[in-house]
Amino acid sequence: MRALTSLELRIVVEEIRSDYLNSKLAKIYLPKSKTLRLELHRAGQGRSTLIVDSGIGMYLSKFKFENPMVPPAFAMFLRRHLLQATLKDVVQRGSERIIEFRFNTKNGTRFLICELFGKGNFILTDTKYSILNSAVIQKTKDRTIRKGEIYEYPEQSFDVLSLSRKDFDNGLSAWEKHSIVKYLANGLSLGGRYAEEVCINSGVDKNKKVSELSKDDKGNVFASLRDLLINFDSPKPVVVMSEEKHVDSLPFILNEFKNKDTKTVKTFSESVDLVFSEGKVEKVRKERFKSFNKKIEKIEKIVYNQKSAVENLKKKRSDLKNKIEIVYRNYQYISKIIDRLKKARSAGHEWSEIIEAAEKEKASGLIEAGMFRKIDSKEGLVILEVEGCLIEIRLADKIENFTDTLYHKIKSMNSKILGAERTMKKYASDRDKLLKTKETLVERVESSLPKARVAVKKEWYEKFRWFFTSNGMLAIGGRDATSNEILIKKHMEVGDFVFHTSMAGSPFFLLKDGKNIGKEIDIEEVAIATASYSRAWRNGYRTQEVFYVRPEQVSKKAEAGEFLAKGSFMVRGKRELISPELEICVGIIKNKVIGGPKSIFDDEFFCLIPGKSKKSEIAKKIARELKVSVDEVMFVIPTGTSDIIG
């Protein structure tokens, strides 16, 4: 993965400034020491993940990767100071790879400075740039990054965007011994890719030395450089494709890629995300298959070794059988040799005399004499070559003893071959069984891999508690005092039914057009939801009285001398009462996670009643079974402890 140039970082900064200022900082993660992950939330836009990677750069990501179970100390520090802070500005200092985020917090303005050069660092300061903390303590001859110190920016080099012709020419004089492309890439910090683009567009050979440039060459290069920089002000981002994979990101098309397959995207950040995140997904995929591949590799090695052992043993067995056959075919000749050697030894001849006599007899033409090769006097062995096969026979033994020994070896080898074949068969079977599970494993791994979040347009009522009744009527309820207030003031209409419990601490629920077409089942379902999402759940009640009235009976006007808090309303006149049992079921209807009464569900769902298990534990269990995010389930579960029934 290539690092983004400072010019490319500038584009990302402008994209964030354009779309994400005044966002709330909802979550902060530090998955690696050099990577910061910020979840930004903006009303009407939902959540977006901003990745700040010291080794790569910065980009907005649609992918959701796993975060550490135990957050590092610096991540916890940032959470204490910045969670729910408002992003007010993002700036890049000149052409430096330093990004400064300015947040409004409850304790005043805070600057989060991200250094994307060298080993990288993240520093939090106050408005006077006094360092509150940093991810890494750093000390150089020019500055110190440590709590309590004043943060100082590194000495700033020139900004290529404000480069004048005079600055350009002065720079050339210092690079006369180098090529023009090297001056552009390193001297002006364009990077190799954009330096070559300038050379191509100017018509000047990139390898031409600066000292060899003519006046026209210099003018053409400078003009080409200015044109390139203008493109960064109005980017038209693309992703370079190869075999349906995203392999590179560009803020605009370059000559190098004109004949390659590309895909246009809305933002440069999106193109960076597709390339970098796809690489990360592939890394996660390999990691998830690592254990499986290790098992397969281990089994394959055992099968291979056993197969090799069987082949070697069978070859040795074949050689032994062949040797026995040779001995029996040449039994009389071998017997003569053994007998003569024994007689010579019995007659008192020394081994040296016997060997000398045997060597002389080789020329006699006798078959048995031609078989003689050597005598090992220490071991008492005679070594013969019969039909091209070397045979070692102990003089003290009979030929039958020699062949019996060979038969015993063959028998032992047969046993070893059977054992090796059994082992090979067992592990081959294990391998085949394991390979059969690969398809399931692939499906499981692929389904668990991080995927790009698809922005789904939400209906206006999805910010509230909501469901459609058995007869398809919309029921919507408040989540807190603020949403109760909005629900009644903005969305209550003539013809609706308004629901509330007889005790304080209840959401208001609306059954839209309930007065005109609402049936008994619809009213009962909304009453169940009203009771279940009320304080009665936290109190562990099994039933709770609910009333419903018409909109004209609901007013924000309090009685004389009384005050109505936010989310509270006066209800006057006759009330229709119903006492449902508390129960909320969670399931999926039309690809959305819904919480509501049991009667609205057809397929798989989970029913909850007030109980003893924590909300988070219940949410994790249901999310795992429904294969949805925990946040989606948490959104529809009543506040308090619960138990899953049925």
**Domains, the chain, ranges and CATH?**
6-145 (2.30.310.10), 160-234 (1.10.8.50), 321-404 (no CATH), 458-581 (no CATH), 583-646 (no CATH)
pLDDT of res. 605: 94
pLDDT of res. 563: 66
The parts of the chain modelled with pLDDT lower than 70 are 1, 43-46, 157, 363-365, 443-457, 560-561, 563, 646
Kindly state the percentage of the chain with pLDDT values over 90.
57
pLDDT of res. 343: 85
Contact assessment for residue 116 and residue 54, using Cβ atoms and an 8 Å cutoff? yes
pLDDT of res. 45: 66
pLDDT of res. 500: 96
For 566-589, b where at least 16 C-beta lie within 10 A, e where not — what string? ebebeeeeeeeebebebbbbbbbe
Contact assessment for residue 394 and residue 338, using Cβ atoms and an 8 Å cutoff? no
Measured from the Cβ of residue 170, the count of other Cβ atoms closer than 10 Å reads 10
pLDDT of res. 646: 66
Number of helices followed by number of strands (H, E) in the chain: 18, 29
Kindly state the greatest CA–CA separation across the chain.
144
pLDDT of res. 119: 85
- Enumerate the β-bridge partners of residue 86: 24, 104
Q: Residue 274 in 3-state DSSP?
A: helix
Contact assessment for residue 542 and residue 532, using Cβ atoms and an 8 Å cutoff? no
- Pure H helices in 464-585: 481-486, 514-517, 520-532, 535-538
Torsion sign (Cα): 544, 504, 546, 589: negative
pLDDT of res. 275: 86
How far, in Å, CA of 646 to CA of 634, rounded? 20
Q: Is the pTM of this model over 0.75?
A: no
Angle between the N-to-C axes of helices 215-233 and 192-202, in degrees from 0 to 180, rounded to the nearest 10: 120
Tokens 């402008």 — which residue? 14
